Structures are given as C-alpha cells and as structure tokens.
Structure 1
Amino acid sequence: MDAGQLKGRTGLARILNATGYSMAGLKAAFTGEAAFRQLVLINLVLIPLAFWLDVTRAERAILVGVVFLGLIVEILNSAIEAAVDRISLDIHPLAKRAKDMGSAAQFLALSLIALVWSTILL
C-alpha cells in the first residue's frame, strides 16, 4: 500500500492508522533516544508532584503542560536529526544548522520548564 492510499482513508480507519503511527513514534523515541527516556523520568516525578503541590488548577495545568512540551520538543528534535541523518551523514553546514536549531529548541523548552516551575513554586 502506498502513501496515497493511506492518506485517502477517512473516518475511523484514518484515526486508527494515525494512532498506530503515533504509538510507533513514541516507541521509537523511547527505545532509540536516551534524552527522551530521561525526560519521561522527569515527567514521572514532576507530574505527580504537580498534583501533590498546593497550587491552583490553572497553575497545575501549566506545570503539567510545560513538562509535556519538553517531551514534544524532544520528539521533534529527534525527528529533525533522523531526517538529516537519512539524507546524509556527511558534515554539511545546513545539516549542522538544522541539528543545532533542534537542539536550541529543546534548550528553550527545558529553560521554560525551569522558569515556570520556579516561578510557581517560589
């Protein structure tokens, strides 16, 4: 089956296919990316902590949301790296720029986590 046939699906079949692809992506991130596994561990600590803390519901939602954002950015960063590496493993200025920008996005996401958590807790 080619990509055109898959994209032509509608309704529940399309949702099921998309869910399967998403689960495969999460599995690939968890098994293949140490940074993603580390962020999952951080989430396993911070999310229960967010529910234990005496904060408003809005603050709790923000605390949980930013740690999920870290996971999302790490998946996107890993996807950029995989796509660049698929094209070529040769060192090229554009490949370096793409990888560096993905890394910078993750740095900003982690900085946001630290900023939000420290602002709400302090």
Structure 2
Amino acid sequence: MKLKVRGVARFYYATCYSIKGLKAAFKHEPAFQYEVIAFAVLFPLAFWVAQTATQWALLVGSALLVLILELINSAIEAVVDRAGTEFNELAGRAKDLGSAAVMLGLMVTGAVWAGIIIDNQGWL
C-alpha cells in the first residue's frame, strides 16, 4: 500500500504536477497557445482599461477563466482520445460540451471587457 504524501511535500508535488500540466497544454494544444498569447496582451491592457481594483480583477479573472476552461476541455479530449479511436456518440458529445464551455468563457470575457470599457467611457 502506497502512503499518501502530506504537508509541504504534498503542496510541492501538486505544484510540480500543475506546472507539468501547463507545459503539456502549451506544447500540445494550439488553442491553449493562442489563448496564452491573448492573455499576455490582455493582462497589461487591463492595467490601462481598469479604473478600480474590482474592474482589474474582473478583466484579468475573465481572461484567466478562458485558460482554465481550455485546460479542462483539453483534459476531456485527452481522456476521450485515450479511450479509443472508434466513433462513439458520447465521446463526441463530451468533446463538444468541453468546446462549448470554452466558447461561453470567451463570450463572458468579451462581455466583461466590453461592459467595463463602455462603462468607463460613459457611453450608456
């Protein structure tokens, strides 16, 4: 029976696994690469657009949400692809649902950015 790592060692190993996952996503997932580039543009832009700390948190948080959803989508796709190459309706549905989650995250990000920019400009 394998003993579970606890305490600081658990945090260390969990961090290593997380970094390994980020590296794998960046290496093997083109969509994640594009979204990281978009985040690299949006992050500094958020300092210029935001007028309050809350606005900044919403701008950056919504952009991070897309990265999080893409990681989950990529994990779903990896598991489905590992399960087999033959067509399966449920496997296709799982992939489509993951993709839809990313699309909705992109829509949320667009709405947050547009709403804050419009609000700050006093257009409404």
TM-score by structure 2 length? Answer: 0.92
Determine the C-alpha separation between the residues in 1 that align with 2:29 and 2:72. Answer: 12
Which residue matches 1:120? 116
Note the residue ranges of structure 2 that are not aligned, 5 or more in a row. Answer: 119-124
Determine the C-alpha separation between the residues in 2 that align with 1:5 and 1:100. Answer: 37
Task: Figure out how many residues of one structure are paired with residues of the other and give that number.
Answer: 118
Which residue matches 2:58? 62
Aligned-residue Cα RMSD (Å) equals 1.1
Q: Sequence identity of aligned pairs in percent?
A: 49
Whichever residue aligns with residue 120 of structure 1, its letter is I
Q: Which runs of 4+ in 1 moved over 3 A?
A: none
What is the CA distance between 1:54 and its match in structure 2? 4.6
Which residue matches 2:81? 85
Bigger shift: 46-55 or 58-67? 46-55
Query: Within the alignment, does 1:5 sit opposite 2:40 as a pair?
Result: no
Determine the C-alpha separation between the residues in 2 that align with 1:116 and 1:68. Answer: 12
Which residue matches 1:40? 36
What is the CA distance between 1:89 and its match in structure 2? 1.3
CA offsets 1:25-56 (integer angstroms, 9 cap, x no match): 00000000000010000001101000122521
Whichever residue aligns with residue 13 of structure 2, its letter is N
Note the residue ranges of structure 1 that are not aligned, 5 or more in a row. Answer: none
What is the CA distance between 1:87 and its match in structure 2? 0.4
Instruction: Evaluate the alpha carbon distance shift between residue 86 and residue 54 of structure 1 in structure 2; reply closer, same or farther with a 3 A threshold.
Output: closer
TM-score by structure 1 length? Answer: 0.93
